[in-house]
Chains A and B, each alone.
Chain A
């Protein structure tokens, strides 16, 4: 852009910018187009290809299945079951991960002691531990939770560790100069300064746990859960419920990630300007 082109952007040009709702509508438009296209092709294929609706149900069957499970209550029970598991695991795993990760970042001895095991365990996907947890806990809730906690705590640990480790040493010096030490150094300086990377650890941990919980619920039959519902629907050949559940998984996963995790991240990162310092 040349200078005059920049100068030409006067307030009157800003007045010409479409209002916020118009821009939102425009964004929605671009998001909706491919969705509509997919739905149209889906419907055409389902109706005209001659493939059995058991394999490829038309949209109205999927919609009906969704409405049915919603009114019947299983949809909510499944959502509740899956999210409850996730929250338990994220709560426990993030506490463990944050504490050990912070100690690793701050104390050389903790780092030396944990870095080997951490890297080794990070190389083992949580799902690979299913046979083991099923032997230990049987087909119980605990067989799922233990793996979720494992995955979440390792992910959070790695991020917290690197977050605390990469703290600007001049901030530690300033904190020492202004009276922080020991526990107060941890709470007042190390933790907040590592917060952006801790939060992106939570985000990553959530998306990993989200994948694992679905698989886990398929392997370990529990009373309610989205993964369990997929498994159950296949057993009973209710393909439209399989599709309806997949749709639910996609939408809730996306919404949670966008609305909760992204905004938590944006809050710290944007406010403190950490992104700018990282660049």
Chain B
């Protein structure tokens, strides 16, 4: 269990006075991809290309203009506890302790108290917060906060884990530590993961496949398998080669929105005029 299928997904924002988009914004018209069971797939792309939009649609927190999303064959129509979401801005509940934050989704599912306690204890351990279960989030560092965010999502044992630049708000040292932690947790849990990032190295380090989103409206311009053995070394030659591949593709992809006419994919027509 745990397949995420995105089919012909379309998202337009309507024109709004004063929004700068007089004719509306076509974020993407036709995005299709599948994250197989137990697969870790990253979506990478320049800021503003619609990565968060894809994730929000998959989360059911936003509605598509067209196309559909399926989790294990069931169409997504709204938020649901079959998907666990980790937010870039953590979005922890400040009035709940670490353990209570992690238990939030379990309470929604009406998991009985005894079982809930066991699950929370297991998750708190898994994300490395054993000593901090009774802390309030404001006393935790950024990295620890995101561990809580990850724990909250894992606790409901979702079919799919959706993560939107979860380490984007962290400093580079903490970020690497969190990547290592996530890689370990993923090996242990083998969750299906859709991971959003704009960090090439992060994508290569964590993913089985990397999708590159680029253009305007955005499209998937590259679907790159990362068939490196795990655990991965960031300084291995094969690792760095993948990084370079992606970097070249990312530059090419983003130049479509710039003025260079030599973009590998045909230039997209803009919506205006």
Contacts and interface: CB of A to CB of B under 8 A. Distances in A.
Chain A, interface size: which category? 20 to 34
B94 A179 contact: no
A236 interface: no
Nearest to A276: B138
B87 A178 contact: no
A268 B96 CA distance: 11
A192 B93 CA distance: 9
Contact of A268 (B61, B87, B95): B95
Contact of A174 (B83, B91, B136, B139): B91
A193 interface: yes
A41 B139 CA distance: 50
Most A-side CB within 10 Å, residue of B61, B81, B108, B109: B108
Contacts of B152: 178
Interface in B62-84: 79, 81, 83
B196 interface: no
Interface in B141-180: 152, 156
Nearest to B155: A178
A188 B93 CA distance: 10
A230 interface: no
A273 interface: yes
Given A179-B109, A188-B104, 10 more contacts: A177-B59, A177-B83, A177-B85, A178-B105, A179-B79, A189-B93, A192-B96, A193-B94, A274-B94, A277-B94
Contact of A193 (B61, B93, B109): B93
Contacts, number: 68
A174 B108 contact: no
Given A171-B93, A178-B105, A192-B95, A273 B87 contact: no
B104 A272 contact: no
Contacts of B199: none
B139 A170 contact: no
Contacts of A193: 93-95
B138 A272 contact: yes
Interface of A: 168, 170-171, 173-180, 184, 188-189, 192-193, 195, 268, 271-274, 276-277
A71 B96 CA distance: 48
Contacts of A184: 108
- Contact residues of B: prevailing secondary structure: loop
B7 interface: no
B223 interface: no
15 contacts: A170-B89, A171-B91, A174-B92, A175-B93, A177-B59, A177-B61, A177-B83, A178-B104, A188-B104, A268-B95, A271-B136, A272-B94, A272-B95, A273-B136, A276-B138
Contacts of B60: 177
A184 B87 CA distance: 21
Interface string B34-72: 000000000000000000000000011100000000000
B79 A176 contact: yes
Interface of B: 59-61, 79, 81, 83, 85, 87, 89, 91-96, 104-105, 107-109, 136-139, 152, 156
Contacts of B156: 178-179
Nearest to A176: B79
Given A272-B138, A273-B136, A179 B105 contact: yes
B108 A180 contact: yes
B127 to A, nearest CB: 16
B93 A170 contact: no
10 nearest A-B pairs in the assembled complex, by CB-CB distance: A273-B138, A179-B108, A174-B91, A178-B105, A192-B95, A272-B94, A170-B91, A177-B85, A176-B79, A177-B79
Contacts of B83: 177
Nearest to A275: B138
A192 B95 CA distance: 7
Given A176-B79, A179-B81, A180-B108, A273 B139 contact: yes
A184 B105 CA distance: 12
Nearest to A189: B93
Given A178-B104, A178-B108, A273 B91 contact: no
